[in-house]
Amino acid sequence: MKIAIRAEGPTDIGVLGYDGVLTKGPMLILLEKLDCYQELLVQLGFDEGLEKDDFIQWEFIHKSKIKDSSESRKRSILRSKKDNGFSGIKGFYKNSEAFACIAKGKEADMAIFFVDTDKDFSEDRHTQVNAGLSMHGYNETGVPMIPTKISEAWLMCCLSQYQNCAAHENATTDKTSPSYPKNVCEASGHSTHEIAENCDPNRINMPSFNRFRDDFKVAVNSYMGRPQICN
């Protein structure tokens, strides 16, 4: 199975080395620990002693690759964007549509589009990303992965031992504040990779993460053609 995933950098999905090897970031570490991901591996034939990457191949697509698309692609994207009636919050319909096109070209079975909400409304971004993914056939196998407001907010849930996690989505966007999610993670004395490695994402209960997890379940069930693979 091949899954395309859109990334912004090493602090979220990871980084692709010159040798083509993907160093997985905190968000991808959390994703691979989800019960649904583990069940997908089992359904694909994975067993102990085997390499997981032999069963699920990640197609890492950095945001810069999307921006570097040809001028003809850009004109096509803009026409599609206009036709679908999206004025665009920073062009996330455009970006997700371009990403889905690249994913389709790589014959990806599933497409996961990661992006933070920053200060924008997650509902708007979720709608746009879903629409962009659907343009290339990822109606049910396309997954918006959109933390509110940044990915470290999800990691704050791990640090707080899964207590009152929804409140972390209201964390300050003031980067100078000690309460800013990145600063909270740094103050913990652990790297974001370490936090993710020691976290059980199945215990995370916060709206943006729950939505991502539910969308991922739909995508897995759709790909496998069995509606109860992941409940």
pLDDT value at position 47? 84
pLDDT for position 76: 54
- In this prediction, residue 71 carries a pLDDT of 41
CA distances, 27 to each of 12, 73, 82, 212, 225 (Å): 5, 29, 32, 12, 26
Residue 168 has pLDDT above 90, yes or no: yes
Residue 178 inside a domain? The answer is: no
Number of structural domains (the chain) is 1
Burial of 140 (C-beta count, 10 Å sphere; 0-12/13-18/19+): middle
- Per-residue pLDDT at 37 exceeds 70: yes
In a domain, 189, yes or no: no
Query: How does DSSP assign 4-17, residue by residue?
Result: EEEE--TTTTEEE-
Q: Give the helix/strand (H/E) hosting 82.
A: helix 71-83
67 or 164, greater pLDDT: 164
pTM here is 0.90
Q: What average pLDDT does the structure give for the chain?
A: 88
Cα gap 87→81, rounded to integer Å: 8
Rounded mean pLDDT of 128-134? 94
φ, ψ of residue 97 in degrees (nearest 5): -65, -40
Q: Which domain holds residue 130?
A: 2-148+205-224
Residue 163, in any domain of the structure: no
Q: What is the pLDDT of residue 226?
A: 72
- Is 96 part of a structural domain of the chain? yes
Whether residue 110 is contained in a domain is answered as: yes
In a domain, 97, yes or no: yes
Whether 158 maps to a domain, the answer reads: no
pLDDT for res 69: 58
Looking at the chain, the whole-number percentage of residues with pLDDT higher than 70 is 88
Q: Which pLDDT band, with edges at 50, 70 and 90, does 31 fall under?
A: very high
Confidence tier at 48 by pLDDT (50, 70, 90): confident
Residue 30 pLDDT > 50: yes
Rounded average pLDDT over 199-225:
96
Residue 200 lies in a domain: no
Give 51-106 pLDDT, tens digit per residue. Answer: 788 899 999 998 888 876 534 455 555 555 454 555 544 578 888 999 999 999 99
Q: Worst-scoring range by mean pLDDT, 88-92, 127-131, 174-178, 218-222?
A: 88-92
What pLDDT score was predicted for residue 83?
47
With pLDDT > 90 as the criterion, what percentage of the chain qualifies?
67
